[in-house]
Chains A and B, each alone.
Chain A
Amino acid sequence: MTQARLAVELVPESRPFGALYGRNITAVMQRSWMATKNATWVVIVSGFLEPVLYLASMGYGLGAAIGTVQGPGGVPMSYAAYIAPALLATSAMNGALYDSNNMFFKLNHSKLYRVMLYTSLGPLDVAIGEIIMALLRGLLYALGFMSIAALAGLITSPWALLMIPGAVLIAFSFASLFMGCITFIKRFQQLDWINMLTMPMFLFSATFFPLSVYPQAVQVVIQALPLWHGVDMLRQFAAGQVDSSVLVHLAYFVVMALLGITLATGRLRKLFLR
C-alpha cells in the first residue's frame, strides 16, 4: 500500500512555530484564486470603476469650476491630477474593505478558516495567504487606474510610477488590519462599524482639498489616520515632489501591516486552536 510512503511524506517535521505556520501559503492562495474564477466578475469590475467614476465626476466636472490648484511643493496642477492619487489610495482601502467582508463570511458563515486550520495549515499561512490575495487585487486596481490616469494625461512625472507599489502597500496594510478587526465581529451588521470609519476618512483625508483648510487640532486627528498617509504619499509621487515625510508614511504602513498580521494570526489561533 501507499500508506507507509505517504505517512512519511505527509507528516510535517517538528519545528518552532510549527503550530503557527505550516509553510504552505500557496495552498491558501490557490483556493482563493479558484474561488475568484467562480465568482461574478461584476464585483471585481465595480471595484475598478469606482475611482474612475469619481475621477470623471469630481476631477473633470467639479474640476472645470475649480481650475488649477496648488499641489505638493506649491506645484500648480489640474484638479483632476490633484485628486487622482487620493482616489487611488482610497480605492486601495476600499478594496481591502471589500475583501475583509469576504473574510468575515469565511470566518463565520462558510467556516473556511476553521476547515483550513483543521489541516496541516497554521493561522499564519491563512492570514498571509488571504492578505496576499487582497494585495494582488489591489495591484490589479492600481494598474488599471494608472492606465486610465496616464491616458487622461494626468501622469507627468516618472515618480508617479511609485504610486503602484505605494497603492499595494496601502492595500496590504489595510487588509491586514481589517482582517485582524474582522475576527472580533460576530454579526453582519457590525461590519458597518468599519464602514463608518472608512467613509469619513475618504471624505476628509485631504482627498478633495488640502489639509490646511482645517484648524490645527483637526489636522492632527486626520494626520493620525491611515488614509491621510496614503493620500499624501501618493500625491507626492504623482507630483514628483517627494520629501522625507514619505519615510514617515512608509513606516506608518509597515507598522500597521505588522500589527494587523500579528492580530489576525493571534486571533485565528485563539478562535480555532484553543
Chain B
Amino acid sequence: MPHITPSLTSAPTRTGGVVTARGLTKRYGDFTAVDGIDFEVAPGESFGFLGPNGAGKSTTMSMIGGVLTRTGGELNVMGLDPDREGPRVRAHLGVVPQQDNLDEEIKVRDNLYVYGRYFGLKRAYLKPKIDELLDFAQLTDKAGERVDALSGGMKRRLTIARSLVNDPQILLLDEPTTGLDPQARHILWDRLFRLKEQGTTLLVTTHFMDEAEQLCDRLIVVDHGRIMAEGSPSELIRDYSTREVLEVRFGSDANAAAAQTLKGLGERQEILADRILIYAGDGEAALAQVLARGLTPVASLVRRSSLEDVFLHLTGRSLVD
C-alpha cells in the first residue's frame, strides 16, 4: 500500500501525483468491481495494473477517463475530478482501449485528423502533427490506405498514434499488446518506451508478466478489485518470490504422488495441474535434491522468478487461465 499523508479532509486539489486514488470504489449492485484501492502515479512514471481478467483494471481505467462514475472514494487526475470534469480530464489523456476501435469507414490519415478534430484541434496544428505521428507509428506509407487493409500490429500502432494526437500528458493503455504476435509486441513496446523517454506518463493494464516487466517502473497487483501488492517488478519478485524456480513435470497423473515425496523441498512449492514449481534460491541444487529423493521428472527447468510467480504466490492462482 502507498504511504499517504492523512490530509484527506480538506480535499487537496493537487498532490504530487498526476493520478491519485484514495479508497476508489466501483460497485454494480452487489458486485464490487473495484474495492477501495489507493495509488498514486508520479509524473513521467510508467505505472502498471497487473491482474487477471475481471480484476477491475479496465474499470479503474474508465473511472480515470471520467467515462464511468465511481461509487466511492476520491480520484484526482491532473488536479481535476473526472466525474465532474470529464471533457477537461480527457483533454489531458490519450486512451488506447483494449480492442482497437479505429474508424473503418475512413482512411488511416483521416483517422488521426478526425480524432484531433474531436478534441477541437485546428487543421494548422494537425497537419504536421499527423505526419509526425504516422512516422512514429511507422505507418507513413499506409497513410492513404483503408484501415481494414492494416495488420493487427499496424492497427494497434495506429490506435496508439491516434491517442497521441492531443499531446496527452497521460497515456492510458488497456492491454496494449493482447492478441499481437511476438514481433509486433516488441515493436509496440519499443514505441511505448520512446514515449516514456519523452516524459509521457503511462498507465498500463496487463495480464502479461513480461509486458509488466518490460514497461512498468512500478505496478500494483490487483485481484478481485483489491490491491495485493505494490512495487517495482524486481521488488515484487524479491519480496514475494525466490531468486530461482525449479519446474518439474512427472506426467499428469503422477504430479500429486510426486508432490508427497517432495514435501519440504525449497522455500515454497506450488502444485499445478501439469507441473510442480519449487521455489528456491538455487534451482540446480533443488533439482539435485529431487533426484536424490529417487524421483525422475519427465522434464525439468530452472528459471528466474517472474511476476507470474509473484501473482501465483499472492493469489494461489495462475494469471492466464
Contacts and interface: CB of A to CB of B under 8 A. Distances in A.
B147 to A, nearest CB: 10
B92 A7 contact: yes
| Majority secondary structure, B binding face | loop
B107 interface: yes
A126 to B, nearest CB: 10
Contacts of B106: 31, 34-35, 38
A22 B92 contact: no
Contact of B91 (A10, A34, A111, A115): A10
Contacts of B65: 118
Contacts of B166: 6, 10, 119
20 contacts: A7-B169, A10-B120, A10-B166, A10-B167, A12-B120, A19-B87, A24-B117, A24-B120, A27-B117, A34-B114, A35-B105, A38-B106, A112-B101, A117-B67, A119-B90, A120-B91, A120-B118, A272-B67, A273-B67, A274-B67
Interface in B116-139: 117-121
A250 interface: no
Contact of A119 (B103, B115, B169): B115
A2 interface: yes
Contact of A120 (B68, B87, B99): B87
Contacts of A119: 90, 115, 118-119, 166
The 4 closest A-B pairs by CB, nearest first: A119-B118, A27-B117, A35-B105, A111-B101
B103 A110 contact: yes
A12 B88 contact: yes
Instruction: Tell me which of A3, A7, A110, A115 has the highest count of chain B C-beta atoms within 10 A of its own C-beta.
Output: A115
Interface string B155-189: 00000000000110100000000000000000000
A118 B68 CA distance: 11
A110 B104 contact: yes
Given A30-B114, A120-B119, A121-B118, 10 more contacts: A7-B169, A11-B91, A14-B88, A19-B84, A22-B120, A28-B118, A35-B105, A38-B105, A112-B101, A274-B69
A68 to B, nearest CB: 48
B286 interface: no
B230 interface: no
A157 to B, nearest CB: 42
A79 to B, nearest CB: 41
Contacts of A28: 118
Contacts of A273: 66-69, 86
A39 B146 CA distance: 12
A93 to B, nearest CB: 24
B248 interface: no
B282 interface: no
B217 interface: no
Instruction: Tell me which of A2, A10, A12 has the highest count of chain B C-beta atoms within 10 A of its own C-beta.
Output: A10
Given A22-B87, A38-B107, A118 B120 contact: no
A11 B88 contact: yes
Contacts of A31: 103, 106, 114, 117-118
A120 B169 CA distance: 15
Interface residues of A, number: 38
Nearest to A27: B117
Contact of B87 (A18, A34, A38, A274): A18
A122 B67 CA distance: 11
B284 interface: no
B167 A3 contact: yes
A170 to B, nearest CB: 26
B110 interface: yes
Nearest to B69: A274
Interface in A216-254: none
A115 B88 contact: no
B90 A14 contact: no
A24 B118 contact: yes
A6 B103 CA distance: 25
A114 interface: yes
Contacts of B68: 273-274
Contacts of B118: 24, 27-28, 31, 115-116, 119-121
Interface string B76-110: 00000000111110111001010101011111001
A130 to B, nearest CB: 13
B51 to A, nearest CB: 22
Nearest to B146: A38
Interface in B191-214: none
A30 B118 CA distance: 10
Contacts of A117: 67
A42 to B, nearest CB: 16
Nearest to A22: B87
Interface in A184-230: none
Interface string B9-27: 0000000000000000000
B87 A30 contact: no
B26 to A, nearest CB: 10
Contacts of A122: 87
A22 B110 CA distance: 21
Contacts of B101: 110-112, 114-115
Contacts of A14: 85, 88
Nearest to A21: B87
A107 to B, nearest CB: 12
